[in-house]
Amino acid sequence: MKNADLAERKAAATPRGVGVMCNFYAERALNSELWDVEGRRFIDFASGIAVLNTGHRHPRLIAAMKEQLEKFTHTAYQIVPYESYVSLAERINALAPGDFVKKTALFSTGAEAVENAIKIARAYTGRSGVIAFSGGFHGRTMMGMALTGKVFPYKAGFGPFPGETYHVPFPVALHGVSVQDSMAAIQALFRADIDPKRVAAIIIEPIQGEGGFYLAPPELMQALRRLCDEHGILLIADEVQTGFARTGKTFAMQHYDVAPDLTTMAKSLAGGMPLSAVCGRAEIMDAPAPGGLGGTYAGNPLAVASAHAVLDVIADESLNERAVELGARLKRLLNGLRETVPQIADVRGLGSMVAVEFNKPGSNEPDPDFTKKVQQEALAKGLLLLSCGVHGNVIRFLFPLTIQHNVMEEALAILTAAIRA
């Protein structure tokens, strides 16, 4: 089997709207490495877009799914429930940020979790308005696109979107936007566009994913919490990309001294199986009537079994601590390169949610061309990297937290060569 032959078949059988980054096709993978159909090896610093914090095919996940496979694969939880769903909800309730009684509902995708969080917020508050942030990414469904603060390629040509969705600037000091600017923009919305008594929720990524790995400043979270409490608005933390040890804690909101009312999660929750969740205050989660939440595949038994194994691996292999260690190693390397690579404008991140931003030397002008060259050079040397950011000038690093030491060192050597090249 050849990559070129598969590319021809793909072009004939699938639509161009499903964009594909790589021109090769996966055949097998293990931990932090994958091989294509022609036998070429790649180090995976993409992790299926932050899905594989526990790596490809972790043996404990495989064993858990095999055991479940021998029992049953589907009943639809709303028809015939099963204990593993309930016990996973119990575990998430105990792990999620917030010192209050919580409940959890399981779904299939991150976008589905976001959609349901908005539904729950509207049901609880009796309000319809939602505020999100520029640069944020919340999914490709209609509500997900409405909330997303990036037009191309996610929103272009797909409107109109659900109404009463508003955006304010996300504070990024590098780009001259302060926390005060963001909060002033919300107050401007309240004066000109929507009464705060009609706002159901404010949704925010603690660290923007697709938007560029920008960290929400602690003072922003504190100000949002005060604002939400003042006006009866719910604070939703979208932890789809930040969750499950990526930042050095189980959830990124645990780096802050405030808690959200609702948390959305997906991606690394089940280590490659389609599973997502919304967790929040019990009284809020109970607002929708029976039948108002769910989905045919929501809480699939195989995915739930995998998620239980993921939580075990995070605890038993100390992945929170390993995320801090690996991220610090990467940031030291990137900061060292700043002395000789003038395009490096910023190195940032929490734990192993690390990014490097490239600008044209001596300016604040984004340099997406340089970013693309780094990505292409790394790929040619066998290292898979993802870009992000509204301007496409950021490289984000999403290696498995289980990556072998020698493979990590090999990858960092390739990265250094790619940036210098």
pLDDT for position 230: 98
Last residue of a domain, one of 287, 316, 345: 316
Question: In this structure, what DSSP letter does residue 254 have?
Answer: G
Residues 6+ apart with CB under 8 A from 11: none
- Which amino acid would we find at residue 118? I
Residue 329 sits in a domain whose CATH number is 3.90.1150.10
Helix (H, G, I), strand (E, B) or coil at 349: strand
Residue 273 and residue 336 share a domain: no
Q: pLDDT by residue (tens digit) across 112-157?
A: 999 999 999 999 999 999 999 999 999 999 999 999 998 888 989 9
pLDDT for position 224: 98
- Strand 26-30 to strand 199-204: parallel, antiparallel, or no bridges (unpaired)? unpaired
Catalytic member of 42, 45, 133, 137: 137
Rounded to the nearest 10°, the torsion over CA 139, 145, 149, 152 is 100
Residue 334 and residue 237 share a domain: no
Residue 355 and residue 255 share a domain: no
Residue 79 and residue 42 share a domain: no
Residue 146 and residue 81 share a domain: yes
pLDDT for position 386: 97
Catalytic member of 267, 358, 370, 397: 267
Residue 322 and residue 312 share a domain: no
CA-CA distances (angstroms) from residue 397 to 146, 199, 247, 353? 27, 35, 12, 7
Residues 346, 134: Cα–Cα separation, whole Å: 20
Phi, psi dihedral angles at 312 (to 5 degrees): -65, -45
The whole domain housing 181 covers 62-316
Nearest to 127 by CA among 118, 136, 116, 139: 118
Residue 187 and residue 42 share a domain: no
Other Cβ atoms less than 10 A from the Cβ of 109: the count is 21
Residue 37 and residue 143 share a domain: no
Residue 146 and residue 14 share a domain: no
Catalytic member of 238, 261, 346, 367: 238
Other Cβ atoms less than 10 A from the Cβ of 62: the count is 13
Residues 317, 310: Cα–Cα separation, whole Å: 10
Residue 325 and residue 308 share a domain: no
Residues 334, 190: Cα–Cα separation, whole Å: 42
pLDDT for position 292: 97
Last residue of a domain, one of 299, 316, 333: 316
Residues 256, 360: Cα–Cα separation, whole Å: 33
pLDDT-flagged residues of the chain (< 70): none
Which sign does the torsion angle of CA 117, 311, 73, 274 carry?
Answer: positive
Nearest to 417 by CA among 332, 347, 341: 341
Residue 253 sits in a domain whose CATH number is 3.40.640.10
Q: Name the strand (E) or helix (H) holding 414.
A: helix 405-420
Is 213 catalytic? The answer is no
Last residue of a domain, one of 256, 281, 316: 316
- Side by side, the strands of the sheet bearing 33-36 are 26-30, 33-36, 41-44, 383-384
pLDDT for position 150: 87
Is 137 catalytic? The answer is yes
Structural domains in the chain (count): 2
Q: pLDDT by residue (tens digit) across 7-53?
A: 999 999 999 999 999 999 999 999 999 999 999 999 999 999 999 99
pLDDT for position 152: 85
Is 331 catalytic? The answer is no
Residue 164 and residue 119 share a domain: yes
Residues 108, 278: Cα–Cα separation, whole Å: 11
Residues 333, 343: Cα–Cα separation, whole Å: 15
Question: In this structure, what DSSP letter does residue 12 have?
Answer: H
Residues 400, 268: Cα–Cα separation, whole Å: 10
Residue 125 and residue 170 share a domain: yes
